[in-house]
Structure 1
Amino acid sequence: MKIRQISAAERPASMFPLQAYAFTPSPWPPEEIERYRRRMRFFETAVNLVAEEDGETLAAVSAHRMRQNVRGLVHDMAGVASVAAHPSARRRGLVRALLTELLRQCRDEGCAVSSLYPFRPSFYAKFGFVGIPRQRITTFAPEGLSELLRVDLPGEVERLPMRDGFEAFDGLVRRLLPERHGFAFFDEARAAEFREDPVWVAVARSGGEVVGALRYKIDRHGGDLIGEELLCTGPLGRALLLEFLARHVDQLARIVLGVGTDDVPELWATDLSAVTEGKVDYPRDNAPMARVLNVPALAGSRVGSGAVTVEIVGDDLIGGVWRLAGEDGQLTVGAGGTPAATLTAAGFSALVYGVLDPVEVLTRGLGDVPAEAFGPLSALFPKQMPYLFADF
């Protein structure tokens, strides 16, 4: 078996048959391959690895070059995707070998963190990944927002095809990136494909500044407006977008939106009846996972106070003894010392991403955390739910 890095131009012949069989309806029509080939200009910066045997591609993995906010610090991130193997080659360790090489290479090329959507979380947990929250979906009838139509808000909403609204949308996403924990987005090469999406984008502006945006489709008259993430810089941007949605009251039965883990749709209006859920059902509705690839790169993250030394075990990328301290609200990282707790890579990543506290790390089997280390670790890494915006 040979591992080889391939270019975007090679993906249609080598990776497409594997990932299409794994993730799409099949057999696929011939024109689907051509459609995929036309998309390759957006994958020029991706890292693509394949496992070959006798000239045949048996397994493949890829990483999109992305940026992610982790506790206020924006890092280069490896967005792992297109993990697939030929059915006859599964259970042979090919994907394991590819992922090990991919994560090492991405770390060496400057990625401090990595995220993915797993086909089976327990498989990726062995690579140091830990679960983070899935995006919530809220569903409600537009008449529940009718009270917003009586308010004169300082701003306006423009409805545009994505090709015309892309610059405003992309600019808002990149503005939100350094502000929201867990938020991630693609580099310019990959993000450019969104310009061609056949969707509407509602752009909210106030004083000429973009304060909100929503990508959406309408499936039919009397049907659903299906929105992606409701993005806004604050309450005004959200209110402007919701007021725009309220104007669809006689056109649609329901509005379906993606929202962050800290959004509370039932409080958007007095008479709004909303169902908000975060459905996780593998392998179709997957919750994301994330991990740290480089501990020293975390220096400067926004953390609490105190200091603690931990040992990370069982991981070739971040294993070792690390002294972690919060100084003036920022993390400092040093090597060596006497560890107060022993963590797996997944346990350490859970604390950094803010999804588990030290007690939960212990009960989940992600580390040996003595009771006296609960307080220092909790103070340094208070729980803070990340919102992984990008789906890849």
Structure 2
Amino acid sequence: MEIRQVTADERTDTMFPLQAYAFMASPWADADRETYARRMVYYRTATSLIVEEGGQTLAGAAAFPMRQNVRGAVHDMAGIASVSTHPSARRRGFVRQLMTRLMGQMREQGCAVSALYPFRPSFYGKLGYVGVPRVRTATFAPEGLSHLLGAELPGEVERLPISDGFDEFHALTLRMLRERHGFSVYDETRTAEFRVSPSLWVAIARVDGEVVGAVTYRIDQYGGDLIADDLLTTGPLGRALLLQFFARHVDQVTRIVLTIGVDEVPELWGTDLAVLTQGQVRFPGKCGPMVRLLSIDALNGLHAGADLGVTVDVVDDELIAGRYRISGNAGTLAVEESKDEPQATLTCAGISALAYGVLDPVEVMTRGFGQVEAPAVEALNALFPKKMPYLFADF
């Protein structure tokens, strides 16, 4: 068995058959392979690894170079994707070996954090990943937004094909990368594919020429659904402008299905708005995303909730195991190696859960991600206040 890195051009003959069998209807058509081959121009900066045995590709995994905001600090991120195994080679540990090699290689390339969508969360949990919230959908009839039709809002919304509106849309995502915890974006090579996405509109909200909101969407049929992707706004006015735009489809579509973050409360968007808000997780195919630290240095520069300090042992992880003093100083975290007696023992999933704000110290213990002495619970709570991330980017 050999693990080797392949180029984007090699992926079509090595990784595509595995991915197609794992994630597509099969047998697949020749046109599917041709489409995949054309897309490889956008994968040239991805790190793609495969397992070969006797000249046959048995497993593959890849990491896309991305950036992510973690508590106000923007880090290089490894977006893991394309993880698949030949059915005859499953349960032989190939993916675990690929992931171990891939995480180490991406750390060497400067990535401090990583994220993925798992096929089985418990598998990736053993590799140090911890779950973060999945985006929700809000489903409602446009009549529920009728109060916005007569509202005179400062600003306007322009509808454009994604190819024409991409630059402004992308600029907004880069702004949100700087401002929103958990937000992530691809590098320019991978991002370029979305500029040529065929069947998408983008609605762009502007106030005095400044973009304050954007959302990509499509309409499946007359009298059907308007299906929108992530509602990206800089504040309430951007949201109101985009919702007002959707309200104007009242005689065209029956339902609006809109993707939102966990901090949105659609039932408060209107007095008579009947809305179904849901976040569905199922296995396989619709799992929530997972994240982890690839380097303990990722904690440096994060927003700290208090000026305190605590010593922790991070255990059972090849990349970040060690004893560290984590301190808050003027609202910013700092981490350094320490020989002091630890007040907490955490797995990678445990320290990652605190860093991303999805669990507090008590929840870390109840989930089996570590042990925290009573005095350190308060300190870790203060250093890492809960703060739900919004993981934009579906890779």
Query: Is the contact between residue 313 and residue 321 of structure 2 (CA under 8 Å) also seen in structure 1?
Result: yes
5+ residue gaps, structure 1, are none
Give deviations 1:331-381, integer Å, cap 9, x for gaps. Answer: 011101221000000001000000000000001110011222110110000
Aligned to 1:355: 358
Alignment map for 1:312-351 (pairs within 5 Å):
312-336=314-338, 337-351=340-354
Aligned to 2:216: 215
Q: Secondary structure at the match of 1:69?
A: strand
Give the partner amino acid of 1:255. I
* Paired-residue identity, %: 61
Aligned to 2:18: 18
Give deviations 1:83-126, integer Å, cap 9, x for gaps. Answer: 00000011111111000000000011100000000000000001
Q: Secondary structure at the match of 1:177?
A: helix
How far, CA to CA, are the matches of 2:162 and 2:389 in structure 1? 27
How far, CA to CA, are the matches of 2:359 and 2:374 in structure 1? 15
How far, CA to CA, are the matches of 2:288 and 2:389 in structure 1? 12
Aligned to 1:374: 377
Give the partner amino acid of 1:389. F
How far, CA to CA, are the matches of 1:169 and 1:297 in structure 2? 28
Aligned to 2:115: 115
Aligned to 2:228: 227
How far, CA to CA, are the matches of 1:360 and 1:234 in structure 2? 31
5+ residue gaps, structure 2, are none
Q: Secondary structure at the match of 1:216?
A: strand
Deviation at 1:282, TM superposition (A): 1.1
Structure 2 length normalisation: TM-score? 0.98
Q: Secondary structure at the match of 1:355?
A: coil
How far, CA to CA, are the matches of 2:380 and 2:298 in structure 1? 19
1:172 is the counterpart of 2:204:
no
Give the partner amino acid of 1:322. Y
How far, CA to CA, are the matches of 1:21 and 1:239 in structure 2? 43
Aligned to 2:34: 34
Superposed CA RMSD? 0.7
1:274 is the counterpart of 2:269:
no
Deviation beyond 4 Å, 4+ runs, structure 1: none
Deviation at 1:151, TM superposition (A): 1.1
How far, CA to CA, are the matches of 1:369 and 1:125 in structure 2? 20
How far, CA to CA, are the matches of 2:337 and 2:298 in structure 1? 13
Q: Secondary structure at the match of 1:310?
A: strand
How far, CA to CA, are the matches of 1:269 and 1:279 in structure 2? 24
1:296 is the counterpart of 2:300:
no
Give the partner amino acid of 1:341. A
1:387 is the counterpart of 2:387:
no
Aligned to 1:205: 206
Aligned to 1:139: 139
Q: Secondary structure at the match of 2:92?
A: coil
Query: Is the contact between residue 113 and residue 298 of structure 2 (CA under 8 Å) also seen in structure 1?
Result: no
Q: Secondary structure at the match of 1:346?
A: helix
How far, CA to CA, are the matches of 1:276 and 1:389 in structure 2? 18
1:163 is the counterpart of 2:163:
yes
Give the partner amino acid of 1:51. V
How far, CA to CA, are the matches of 2:207 and 2:142 in structure 1? 23
Q: Secondary structure at the match of 2:214?
A: strand
Query: Is the contact between residue 139 and residue 276 of structure 2 (CA under 8 Å) also seen in structure 1?
Result: yes
How far, CA to CA, are the matches of 1:295 and 1:178 in structure 2? 21
How far, CA to CA, are the matches of 1:80 and 1:382 in structure 2? 27
Deviation at 1:298, TM superposition (A): 2.2
Give deviations 1:33-65, integer Å, cap 9, x for gaps. Answer: 010000011101001000001111100000011
